[in-house]
Structure 1
Amino acid sequence: MIAKPHFAFFDEGSKKEIRRATLKAVAIPGYQVPFASREMPIARGWGTGGLQLTLSLIGRNDVLKVIDQGADESVNAVSIKKLVQHTTGVSVTEKTQEADIIQSRHRIPEKALKEDQILVLQVPNPEPLRKVDAREYMTKRMHAEDDYSGAWLLLFEQIMKFGRMSTGASHPVYVNGRYVMTPSPIPRFDNPKMHQSKGLILLGAGREKKIFAVPPYTSVESLAFDDYPFTVESFEGKACKLCGSTDVFLDEIIDPDTGERTHQCNDTSYCMEQLNSEEKVEVENSYV
């Protein structure tokens, strides 16, 4: 007799164990909860932590969206979507507002999350104090004692060396006024989106065996000094060459033949939605 394959790849016991760790992470915002990370059919470092969260939470009627650095069609995003679809049969979408679960690598979608949505972020290095002390028991102790002087010192050293805080991604945040957390390798541009988010944000690190969370309507404050406030990447004077958006995270594109520099929305589905809405307006106006 051939055994029936499990829904969403894992057996029910494995999914329950991951859910228990997830519930604890939601109950203690920003706290890194250890969990028994499972072996996956993809290499560690390619999103196993986020994938385990998604597979443990997804239901038969859920709609999934997967993005990799803003793109729905990248190799990582397509591979994860295929695995989830193959083991669950759920529907997938490229539209942020239609998804129940959004798994992402390195970006938070441009459209704000809704109350019934879950954003799952893949995290390679969950410990914001790892550069302060490489020993796990020492970083645990610093978190327990609310001792984040080392994290502040790292930012101070950046200011002394570069005249500003130079974190391009993973800029540490204070969650709920208690734990310092790494927000995954998202750009600084996305940090403010975590503050008072309507949707649940879950972060999973498969290789490091950690799960942590930002529950809905939770305070998330990026670490900064009074005289050196936190700033996001500036795209002043620049616009997407396709849809014309100016208030989103933009990628710089260099034409290999002419050397011309242009910009385009990093969130490809957002860009397409803007283009489609503009075309719809043009068609409607043509009938006026």
Structure 2
Amino acid sequence: MTLKHLAKPWAAFSYGFLDASAKREIRRRTLKAIAIPGYQVPYASREVPIARGWGTGGLQSTLTLVKPQSVVKVIDQGADDSVNASSIRKFIQRVSSAGTTEDTLAATIIQSRHRIPEEKLRPDQILILQVPNPEPLRSVNPDISVAREMHGDADYGPIWLKLYEQIVRSGRIMQGASYPSLVNGRHVMSPSPIPRWDVRKLHMAAHLTLLSAGREKRIYAVPPHTRVEPLVFDDIAYRVEEHGHLRCDRSGVSGFFMNELPQDDGTSRHELSDSHFGVKHIRKEEGAAVTIGDTWYRDGRMAP
């Protein structure tokens, strides 16, 4: 017995790595998710060459939609040059021959982990968010069968109670990332672990947002021009992270979401979380011909 006899004969894989059957199924599930905004549609998550929990859901959605004419941007918590983002971007390019970019304005497909770019997305762009935990009711009811019934009945009282308890105990809502949000007036969703700063970027946005959880085998969507409303009480306003006054040490830009960089002397520096957005400002200051698009926020406040 030799290795040659044990190994399967070499054969070229399908375009975009996934086989035709997998693509058909994911596309059908995606269409259903778009038709019912915020509703979690189950699908048969396939194996891809990265570990579960590192973006398998987002990668499958991207591989289903990508074509040779596509231009793909991959973000990992705002950065284009992290190991995870670079590896996924190179893999997508290798199996699809699609173009890649770090510029938000040049991309047609943007796959992201935990952030939405600061520059506004156009109707011809698709945002794919990686989701580790798609169920907003899990923290109040871990039984998935009961949670599905609660979604069917629009019974979101336990989530409201959880938010109320945070106000009673801490004086304000402490929920940070994955802030529960009502989509199209019907389904409450978990908008991926994006910060509260990014949640309002989904409201009435011009672009399509797909949220895909590979480990949990769920896809849901926010179609263009759809209402996305964070759950808040009428007398307590929704608050985002207070980053408007912070200034990026690298680019000098202020009024946007920042990463905090603790220093040895106990102080902190800050830099733009959207790394290429900062790079574009640096290049513009150096005199390069750079186009910077309209942003969701201006001076730390949501633009009208």
* TM-score, normalised relative to structure 2: 0.90
Question: Counterparts of 2:202 and 2:221 in 1: how far apart (Å)?
Answer: 11
Kindly provide the CA deviation profile for residues 218-256 of structure 1, in whole angstroms up to 9, marking residues without a partner as x: 110011111222110012432111222222101111223
1:147 is matched with which residue: 155, 167, 173?
155
Question: Counterparts of 1:131 and 1:252 in 2: how far apart (Å)?
Answer: 28
The number of residue pairs the alignment matches comes to 281
Kindly provide the CA deviation profile for residues 189-240 of structure 1, in whole angstroms up to 9, marking residues without a partner as x: 0011000111100000011100000001111001111122211001243211
Q: 2:101 is aligned with what amino acid? A: T
Question: Counterparts of 2:216 and 2:116 in 1: how far apart (Å)?
Answer: 22
Question: Counterparts of 1:277 and 1:225 in 2: how far apart (Å)?
Answer: 42
1:104 equivalent in structure 2: 112
Identity %, equivalent residues = 53
1:222 equivalent in structure 2: 230
1:54 is matched with which residue: 36, 59, 62?
62
Question: Counterparts of 2:56 and 2:240 in 1: how far apart (Å)?
Answer: 29
* TM-score, normalised relative to structure 1: 0.95
3-state DSSP class of the match of 2:286? Answer: helix
Question: Counterparts of 2:18 and 2:131 in 1: how far apart (Å)?
Answer: 20
Sort the Cα spacing of 1:236 and 1:67 in 2 relative to 1 into closer, same or farther, 3 A: closer
2:171 is matched with which residue: 163, 178, 189?
163
- Map 1:30-179 onto structure 2 (within 5 A): 30-179=38-187
User: Is the aligned partner of 1:261 residue 2:268?
Assistant: yes
Q: 1:171 is aligned with what amino acid? A: Y
RMSD: 1.4
Question: Counterparts of 2:79 and 2:248 in 1: how far apart (Å)?
Answer: 15
1:191 equivalent in structure 2: 199
Q: 2:236 is aligned with what amino acid? A: Y
Question: Counterparts of 1:259 and 1:78 in 2: how far apart (Å)?
Answer: 32
Pairwise CA distance, 1:260: 3.4
3-state DSSP class of the match of 1:115? Answer: coil
Pairwise CA distance, 1:278: 2.2
3-state DSSP class of the match of 2:212? Answer: strand
Question: Counterparts of 1:235 and 1:64 in 2: how far apart (Å)?
Answer: 29
Pairwise CA distance, 1:82: 1.8
User: Is the 2:73–2:109 Cα contact (8 Å) retained in structure 1?
Assistant: yes
Question: Counterparts of 2:90 and 2:12 in 1: how far apart (Å)?
Answer: 19
User: Is the 2:244–2:256 Cα contact (8 Å) retained in structure 1?
Assistant: no
3-state DSSP class of the match of 2:162? Answer: helix
Kindly provide the CA deviation profile for residues 19-41 of structure 1, in whole angstroms up to 9, marking residues without a partner as x: 00000000000000000111121
Question: Counterparts of 1:54 and 1:273 in 2: how far apart (Å)?
Answer: 25
Pairwise CA distance, 1:281: 7.6
User: Is the 2:176–2:196 Cα contact (8 Å) retained in structure 1?
Assistant: yes
Pairwise CA distance, 1:262: 1.7
1:270 is matched with which residue: 273, 277, 284?
277
Structure 2 segments unaligned to the other structure (5+ residues): 1-8, 290-304
3-state DSSP class of the match of 2:15? Answer: coil
User: Is the aligned partner of 1:6 residue 2:14?
Assistant: yes
2:294 equivalent in structure 1: none
Question: Counterparts of 2:222 and 2:160 in 1: how far apart (Å)?
Answer: 22
Question: Counterparts of 2:167 and 2:230 in 1: how far apart (Å)?
Answer: 16
1:280 equivalent in structure 2: 287
User: Is the 2:244–2:257 Cα contact (8 Å) retained in structure 1?
Assistant: no
1:234 equivalent in structure 2: 242
